[in-house]
Amino acid sequence: MQRVLTRLFALWLLAALCLPAAAQEAGFLNSPKGFGAQYRFTESDGVFHTATALIDIYGIPTSRCSSPGIRFNFSRQYIFKQLESRGVSFTLYAGPGLSAGIVRDHDKGRWFDLTSLISENPGFMFALSGDAGCRFGFGRKVSLDLSFTADAGIHVRRNEDEPSYAATSLSIYNNGFLQAIYPQLTVLFKLQ
């Protein structure tokens, strides 16, 4: 599992490095969900795109599991409001996107149990996402972004109760809704 996650992250990083001329901002994302990297590409004055790779740490801070997951998100953001005062710009945005990754999900049937080990295997997650946030620009080089993301999708994993490797479980990706209230703080740097 760890080897697959490493290869997926390396593949995403390689693809992101092949697009430096188009990327206008790049930065580091930090959240209770995990940490990762984000690239922003501007399409027009009122629209921009974000590509995010996130190391999903669900269950690790509470010692419920020992291996992280990885997920990717690509979103199209629409700017609703822009203000500027004394060299600080403020941008309010929201938009749809897609998410996919190999992650653990909230155990079905257990409400908010933070003590027992996660009993379900990690699996593939595919979801439609919705982002909303605000960006604070300080001068020309650095900006801070505070955002929230909700994922509505499915989680496909190998069923740990079945001895056959062909037995899979398909369910709603619960963490997509449960973790929607977790803020994401991104420090962005202009590349051009």
Give the CATH number of the domain where residue 155 resides: 2.40.160.20
What is the per-residue pLDDT across 36-72, written as a single tens digit (0 to 9) for each?
A: 999 998 877 789 999 999 998 887 777 777 788 899 9
The rounded percent of the chain whose pLDDT value lies above 70 is 77
**Residue 124 phi, psi dihedral angles, 5° rounding:** -85, 135
Residue pair 148/178 in contact by the 8 Å Cβ criterion: no
What's the structural domain count of the chain? 1
20 is in which domain, residue-wise? Answer: 2-190
What DSSP letter does each residue of 8-24 carry, written as one string?
HHHHHHHHHHT-TTT--
